[in-house]
């Protein structure tokens, strides 16, 4: 029987492959990764690492973004079924149609969008830099696709700009209701810090002590003295939280993203062994999409 863990370690060293993993991956995948993080962190790391091959343990758009930014690297996705349904909620044709209506608006696409949509966007953003990108982009009107909840969250914070929302959503975070959080709180009957991902509905965000991306939530816990945290996002985040803060207690609503969880150790092993599931992009499309990702990196670091 194959010892996947040992084989993955051997193969990545032998072939000089770097493994990047999102915080929502299974624990055993995060354990073997060279870098774990949210999509913003991983997009930057993919650029910086010297390796020629990246095994991207995340969903398809993340591996595509790594390929867009690093065209000369071989980017592999261990399981091609790891796709995010939010990506399908906005097509290039539909977005261009909306743009006809709002000619002066700039298009900001959440990184959870297709390469085609990125290619017609003025900038991309992730949940950790959406505020900075919207704040710093040179436009008063912004078409924000596809996540309506992240868009409305940023609109609450940036009131001097108008954000035209799309009707997309993350089916995992969108399903959580305020009553789920309130019910947990009541049952727990104790003080809880409530951390909520901005892909959640406003009714859930309104209950939060802190709203932020996975990376920002992890940072936030480190800045607090409280012991108990109800973490309202995909439960893969608990791997890093428990490793980093063993003295804290993390409470869960058992939120799972199926596509994130579909990558197994066997998939990763076969991906490294055969170097299979390479992300291939048409070059002119990639170049256009690259501009929006590079703009994201610039705008999110602009003071
Ligand atoms: S958690 Fe939501 S946004 Fe993230 S990959 Fe899963 S479905 Fe897509």
Same domain, 78 and 37: yes
Average pLDDT over residues 87-116: 98
Q: What is the DSSP string of 65-111?
A: HHHHH-TTSEEE-S-TT---GGGGG--HHHHHHHHHHSTTPEEEEES
Residue 303 pLDDT > 80: no
Same domain, 92 and 144: yes
> What is the reported pLDDT for 241?
98
Same domain, 9 and 139: no
Q: Which residues contact 195 (CB under 8 A, 6 or more apart)?
A: 208, 209, 210, 211, 212, 217, 220, 221, 229, 230, 231, 232, 233
Average pLDDT over residues 263-280: 98
Average pLDDT over residues 136-155: 98
Ligand 1, atom 3, lies closest to the CA of: 170
Residue 121 pLDDT > 90: yes
Q: Looking at the 3D structure of the chain, how many domains does it have?
A: 3
Q: How confident is the model at residue 62 (pLDDT cuts 50, 70, 90)?
A: very high
User: In sequence order, which ranges of 102-163 are alpha helices (DSSP H)?
Assistant: 115-119, 130-136, 148-157
Same domain, 63 and 126: no
Same domain, 100 and 231: no
> What is the reported pLDDT for 59?
97
CA of 112 to the centre of ligand 1 (A): 8
Closest atom of ligand 1 relative to the 86 alpha carbon = 8
Average pLDDT over residues 277-283: 98
Ligand 1, atom 2, lies closest to the CA of: 170
Residue 110 pLDDT > 80: yes
Which mutation among 23, 148, 172, 201 tests ligand 1's pocket best, with the greatest number of atoms within 8 A of CB? 172
Same domain, 144 and 290: yes
CATH no. for residue 194? 3.40.50.10800
For 281, counting Cβ atoms within 10 Å of its Cβ (0-12 exposed, 13-18 middle, 19+ buried), the class is middle
CA of 234 to the centre of ligand 1 (A): 9
Ligand 1, atom 1, lies closest to the CA of: 257
- The CA distance from 192 to 185, in Å, is 7
Same domain, 130 and 154: yes
Domain span including residue 77: 4-84+261-280
Residue 184 structure tokens: 């947990």
DSSP code of residue 166? P
Same domain, 253 and 195: yes
Same domain, 35 and 159: no
Q: What is the pLDDT of residues 198-217, one digit of tens each?
A: 999 999 999 999 999 999 99
Same domain, 10 and 31: yes
Same domain, 176 and 253: yes
> What is the reported pLDDT for 52?
93
Token pair 């994201």 is found at 296
Which mutation among 24, 62, 82, 86 tests ligand 1's pocket best, with the greatest number of atoms within 8 A of CB? 86
Same domain, 30 and 16: yes
């Amino acid at each position: 029987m194959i010892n996947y863990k040992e084989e993955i370690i051997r193969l990545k060293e032998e072939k000089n492959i770097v493994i990047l993993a999102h915080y929502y991956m299974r624990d055993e995948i995060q354990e073997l990764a060279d870098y774990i993080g949210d999509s913003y962190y991983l997009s930057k790391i993919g650029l910086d690492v010297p390796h020629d091959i990246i095994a991207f343990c995340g969903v398809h758009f993340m591996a595509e973004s790594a390929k867009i930014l690093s065209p000369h690297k071989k980017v592999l996705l261990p399981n091609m079924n790891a796709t995010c349904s939010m990506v399908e909620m906005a097509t290039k044709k539909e977005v261009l149609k909306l743009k006809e209506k709002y000619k002066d608006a700039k298009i900001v696409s959440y990184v959870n969008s297709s390469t085609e949509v990125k290619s017609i966007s003025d900038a991309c953003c992730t949940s950790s830099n959406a505020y900075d990108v919207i704040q710093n982009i040179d436009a008063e009107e912004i078409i924000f696709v596809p996540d309506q909840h992240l868009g409305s969250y940023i609109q609450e914070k940036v009131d001097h700009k108008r954000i035209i929302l799309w009707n997309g959503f993350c089916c995992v975070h969108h399903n959580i209701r305020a009553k789920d959080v309130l019910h947990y709180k009541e049952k727990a009957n104790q003080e809880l810090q409530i951390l909520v991902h901005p892909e959640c509905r406003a009714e859930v965000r309104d209950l939060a002590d802190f709203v932020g991306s996975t990376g920002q939530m992890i940072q936030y816990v480190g800045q607090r003295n409280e012991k108990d945290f109800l973490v309202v996002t995909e439960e893969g985040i608990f791997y890093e939280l428990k490793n980093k803060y063993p003295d804290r207690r993390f409470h869960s609503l058992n939120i799972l993203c199926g596509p994130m969880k579909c990558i197994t150790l066997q998939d990763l092993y076969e991906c490294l062994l055969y170097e299979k599931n390479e992300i291939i992009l048409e070059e002119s499309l990639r170049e256009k999409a690259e501009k929006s990702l590079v703009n994201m990196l610039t705008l999110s670091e602009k003071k």
